[in-house]
Structure 1
């Protein structure tokens, strides 16, 4: 059974920086379990110390009618 918790929000660059720092701190705290804020919830996860997969996907599109579009997707994945 899979559970998915998602949140799509608009944030300022400073707020994005704070959120990414929160994630970095959670991964670097040395605890077995980490708490990740997702929207109005907090999700507890247990990533291993040595084998977390990291995928980075960057999309850049240019359109005269719609304007430029840029997107970064970060994915962290692991098995327990």
Structure 2
């Protein structure tokens, strides 16, 4: 069974940096990670090894302007 929780919001750069620091703090150590997603929190149990992928995209368009994005993906097999 798969479960997904998503949220989309706009933050200023300082808020985004604080969110990333809080997220990093949740992964630091060996306990569960309590991840804030929108107006709720999701408890995860990351393993000691986490597979990560990062993608940076830069797009230029004469009509729509320049856009940049970062996608970060982290995965692990959940312990039973």
> Are residue 5 (structure 1) and residue 34 (structure 2) matched?
no
Contact 1:59 1:71 in 2 (8 A): yes
TM-score, length of structure 2 as denominator length? 0.93
Which 4+ residue blocks in structure 1 deviate beyond 6 angstroms? Answer: none
Supply the distance in 2 between the matched residues of 1:32 and 1:25 (Cα, whole angstroms). Answer: 11
Q: Which runs of 5+ in 2 are unaligned?
A: none
Deviation, 1:32, is 2.5
TM-score, length of structure 1 as denominator length? 0.93
Supply the distance in 2 between the matched residues of 1:2 and 1:32 (Cα, whole angstroms). Answer: 23
Q: Once superposed, what is the RMSD of the aligned Cα atoms?
A: 0.8
Write out per-residue CA displacement over residues 2-59 of structure 1, whole angstroms, 9 at most, x where no aligned residue.
000000111000000000000110111x23211000000000000011x201100111
Deviation, 1:61, is 0.5
Contact 1:32 1:48 in 2 (8 A): no
